[in-house]
Structure 1
Amino acid sequence: MKKIVALIFLITSFAQAQFNLNGTLTNNLDTDWVILYKIEGPKQKFIKNTTIKKDTLLIDGNKQIIGSFNFQLPANAKVGSYRVSYRTSGASFVDFIFNKENISFAFHPDYPEQTVVFSESKENIVYRNYLSEVSKQQQKLDSLQITAIRNPQLDLKKNYKTTLNKINSIQQKYLENAKDMYVLPFIKASLRVNPSEIKTNANEYMSNMTSTFFDNLDFSNETLLSSSFLIDRITDYVFYINYSENTEKQQDLYKKSIETVFSKVKSPVFKKDAIAFLIEQFEASKNLELIDFLFKNYYDKLPKSLQSNSFKSEKLTLLAAEVGRIAPDFSWKENDKTLKLSTLKDAKNYVLIFWSTTCSHCLKEIPKLHKFLQDKEDIKAVAFSLERDALGWENMKITLPNWHHVLGLNKWENKVSRTYNISSTPTYFVLDSNKKIIAKPLTLEGLESFLSKL
């Protein structure tokens, strides 16, 4: 009898040790799956996935699709920041905190951050209530501040002070309420450092914002380091707070903001992850100057054990053939001589063309380009033909005299083709005399227009 009671107790304890995560997606659901991740700084670790159950409801005479999902987390699931993702682009995820409790929430899939409401989970309810209360007053304060800058003659000091006091009161209330909670560091770090007096000058206001931006952020706090919080703040500071419409000034602002960020970061592991994150952000805009800046000044100075040669090689190789880079070198045989792209000296500019005799667009455009270049003595073409064999190329190149002709066998698998990230033909590059890539026109018309201005 004792064994049976013990067994029942064991089973009951095991069942209670499971934690339920329930989510509801409201309105116009266009996906069938959801993935659960554990957030670790700028990275996310896959935990599990499940399907979304859909129900059709009649609301005010209109059909509405409601989606729901459930995850069960074991007793040993790590406390921390998690994410449910349900799309591959656009509005696609909801972040939350897990601290050994059941969690239930609902949200509109097109506006997850703005609409998410937690019905179960003390940690998330407290944090969301805090964000809601403090953001309303912060918006009011910002509105007063903007009005004061636009209309300096208005006396808004009293209203500003009143609103600022409300913000500080809300902050103090939640710091006390969350004293023993996992969410406490987020509440401490979320408060903006507002000026004690209203500003009537835009430059003074922005100066205060940039100089105090990191005052409440603790880059040594493990709870913040293992969430997306600090990375989100770094993103705001680098890409939104420090902004200029002038391209050159913006590049300088990027560098200065990055220097400020990494003067705050002490953890080598987090620094590595933050550097990699920023490199990937600048990769999206193909900002080679900032990518090189990050590698040279930060990534290469990390402890060797944290550096990854494959990561650096992958990023630099991916951008090896972008505007601003020296064109990757290659050699070929021509009239029994070995020539190299880097050592050509027979023109002021070069047009490097990746084409193929099996490409119908090439067969139309290449003869037109040849005719266009006939009277341009300072521009020389290097025609790199991607082929499976040499037969068609041998016949075609005869019709294109005075060009440098290179045969690239294995077509798309050709090593040079892969170095230049060629995915279609014809692909055009314009090089200066030092073989630096100065343009990558997408069309023949664009190429001819660019060359006409040289």
Structure 2
Amino acid sequence: MIKKLLFLFLLISSISYAQYTIKGSMSPKIETDWVILYRLEGTKQIFVNNAIIKTDSIIIGGNKQAVSSFEIPLPSSAKPGAYRATYKLQDAGFVDFFFNKEDVTFIFNPEYPQQSIAFAASSENKMYADFISDISNEQQKLDSIQVAVLKNPTLDLTKDYQKSLKKVDSIQAIYEKIAADKYIAPFIKASARTNPPEMFTSVNAYLDNVSNTFFDGLDFSSQSLRNSSFLTNRILDYIFYINYAEDDKEQQELHKKSIKTILSKIDDEAYKRDIIQFIIEQFEETKNLEIIDYLYENHYNKLPVALQDAKYKKEKLALFAIEVGRIAPDFSWKEKGNNLKLSTLNDAEYYVLVFWSTSCSHCLREIPQLHTYMKTKPNMKVIAFALENDAMVWETYAKNNLKDWHNILGLNKWENEIARTYQVYSTPTYLVLDKNKKIIAKPNVIKDVKAFLEKL
């Protein structure tokens, strides 16, 4: 009896601690030491594990090749879902795959990870890869027929189109059926394109149909789709590729319209917040302030207060506080017994705001040049903000050399609150403002200042 109980205990223990393995190989090999495994949840990456990348030799196409490989164990309690193996923190150095209680083995080219990944183990990943290949090949045939007719509406390709359309629908139906009880089922279903029963002869009608039906097969309430890159990739495609215009003004309006369409399809307010933040981060890369402001004013600020993150919003807006096009952050100072404020200053058409210091050799070379040059610009004024640890040297220098400027003392130098607001990390730092205190330029050196002011 005791032996039976001991055997049962050991059996249960071995099952509960059983592990799955994620094995990856990169060919050609790379000079990277670590790979990090994440599980995707919404728009976030949750750390799971990491592993050392080793150099191995494998046979590829009958030839022996050196590859970089890694092996990451997963416990039996690991959640099914979309996972990401990251081997470079920049330049899209990662591969995404599904895990559903089975070992996963794959090989890929680290320069083209998603396009080249091939699975040696994992029935679900193999099936999904086969589906993507089969449906993409037939969809491309269907699209080529449609494009041919758009180029030449006199072509009679109706039978070819109907035959290809039937094949696309058949492939979709077959894979939806065989994947019905698998984790990848919602991904296969969501991949279905809404192809029209008949071809379009108008390019605009065709493009309108693509845009209007783009989200037809997507279920924004699906946790599986949310916890992957599937939905976010579709969102990026819709914003940046499906809704495209060559005219900048028209493009901005299309961005706003596409964002509004996407957010209207999301009922879960918490997930909507995450998607808004995700979209904001995409427009950060191009510093598209108009769209970032639109997202905050028209969407983020209208979320339930409990879901808004004041700290997140403050930090994000602070990143762009001094970008060209922004109104310069306001500040006050005393000058000749008067209280002055940047926002209400009205003694010039343009202003040069310069952060400088008497302890900065570059400043002591450029500030006199700026002073001499500005004497030729009567409609412009300099606001000289000196970052100092004490007032003594500055008072003497400004009094003797910069009498006709607005001179401001900023104590605590790099820790000065205004300097931090303006993200001043070196001196001199120049900004050119119009009469409304909108930032219109951020020249790097005195030569650039002069060149820009000459254009005004």
Query: In terms of mean alpha carbon deviation, does 109-118 or 149-158 score higher?
Result: 149-158
- State the distance in 2 between where 1:351 and 1:150 align: 55
- State the distance in 2 between where 1:9 and 1:414 align: 65
- State the distance in 2 between where 1:41 and 1:228 align: 8
**Residue equivalent to 1:217:** 218
Q: Check 1:243–1:13 CA distance in 2 against 1; reply closer, same or farther (3 A cut).
A: same
**Residue equivalent to 2:113:** 112
- State the distance in 1 between where 2:134 and 2:355 align: 59
1:12-411 alignment runs, 5 A limit? 12-15=14-17, 17-55=18-56, 64-397=65-398, 398-411=400-413
- State the distance in 1 between where 2:377 and 2:280 align: 40
**1:423 deviation in Å?**
2.4
- State the distance in 2 between where 1:383 and 1:50 align: 53
Alignment check: 8 A CA contact 2:29 2:55 kept: no
Which residue identity does 1:393 align to in structure 2? Answer: W
**1:64 deviation in Å?**
4.7
- State the distance in 1 between where 2:265 and 2:36 align: 33
- For the residue of structure 2 that corresponds to 1:86, the secondary structure is strand
- State the distance in 2 between where 1:322 and 1:77 align: 45
**Residue equivalent to 1:422:** 424
**1:63 deviation in Å?**
8.4
Gapped regions of structure 1 (runs ≥ 5)? none
Deviation digits for residues 171-197 of structure 1 (CA, Å, limit 9, x no counterpart): 011011101111110001112212222
Alignment check: 8 A CA contact 1:352 1:431 kept: yes
Deviation digits for residues 44-81 of structure 1 (CA, Å, limit 9, x no counterpart): 11112111111356989998531111111112111111
Q: Check 1:125–1:364 CA distance in 2 against 1; reply closer, same or farther (3 A cut).
A: same
**1:36 deviation in Å?**
0.7
Q: 2:7 aligns with which of 1, 5, 8?
A: 5
**1:223 deviation in Å?**
1.3
**Residue equivalent to 1:440:** 442
- State the distance in 2 between where 1:295 and 1:411 align: 33
Q: Check 1:31–1:379 CA distance in 2 against 1; reply closer, same or farther (3 A cut).
A: same
**1:148 deviation in Å?**
2.6
- For the residue of structure 1 that corresponds to 2:321, the secondary structure is coil
Q: Check 1:368–1:162 CA distance in 2 against 1; reply closer, same or farther (3 A cut).
A: farther
Fraction of identical pairs, as percent: 53
Alignment check: 8 A CA contact 1:29 1:65 kept: no
- For the residue of structure 2 that corresponds to 1:238, the secondary structure is helix
- State the distance in 1 between where 2:142 and 2:357 align: 63
Alignment check: 8 A CA contact 2:332 2:340 kept: yes
Gapped regions of structure 2 (runs ≥ 5)? none
Which residue identity does 2:72 align to in structure 1? Answer: F
Alignment check: 8 A CA contact 1:40 1:228 kept: no
- State the distance in 1 between where 2:370 and 2:450 align: 8
Alignment check: 8 A CA contact 1:238 1:258 kept: yes
Which residue identity does 1:270 align to in structure 2? Answer: Y
* TM-score of the pair, normalised by structure 2: 0.94
Alignment check: 8 A CA contact 1:351 1:428 kept: yes
- State the distance in 1 between where 2:444 and 2:140 align: 45
- State the distance in 2 between where 1:59 and 1:167 align: 33
Q: Over aligned residue pairs, what C-alpha RMSD do you find?
A: 2.1
Alignment check: 8 A CA contact 1:41 1:230 kept: no
Q: Check 1:444–1:165 CA distance in 2 against 1; reply closer, same or farther (3 A cut).
A: farther
**1:166 deviation in Å?**
1.6
* TM-score of the pair, normalised by structure 1: 0.94
- For the residue of structure 1 that corresponds to 2:259, the secondary structure is helix
Alignment check: 8 A CA contact 1:243 1:250 kept: yes
- For the residue of structure 2 that corresponds to 1:27, the secondary structure is coil
- State the distance in 1 between where 2:96 and 2:167 align: 27
**1:415 deviation in Å?**
0.9
Query: In terms of mean alpha carbon deviation, does 363-372 or 392-401 score higher?
Result: 392-401
Q: Check 1:10–1:61 CA distance in 2 against 1; reply closer, same or farther (3 A cut).
A: closer
- For the residue of structure 1 that corresponds to 2:88, the secondary structure is coil
**1:435 deviation in Å?**
1.1
- State the distance in 2 between where 1:58 and 1:221 align: 41
Q: Check 1:139–1:441 CA distance in 2 against 1; reply closer, same or farther (3 A cut).
A: farther
Q: How many residues align?
A: 453
Runs of 4+ in 1 over 6 A off after TM superposition: 57-63
- State the distance in 2 between where 1:148 and 1:30 align: 49
Which residue identity does 1:253 align to in structure 2? Answer: L
Which residue identity does 1:100 align to in structure 2? Answer: K
Query: In terms of mean alpha carbon deviation, does 50-59 or 188-197 score higher?
Result: 50-59
**1:429 deviation in Å?**
1.2
**1:302 deviation in Å?**
1.2
- State the distance in 2 between where 1:150 and 1:428 align: 53
- State the distance in 2 between where 1:392 and 1:18 align: 69
Alignment check: 8 A CA contact 1:91 1:111 kept: no
Deviation digits for residues 384-415 of structure 1 (CA, Å, limit 9, x no counterpart): 12223334433432323311111222222211
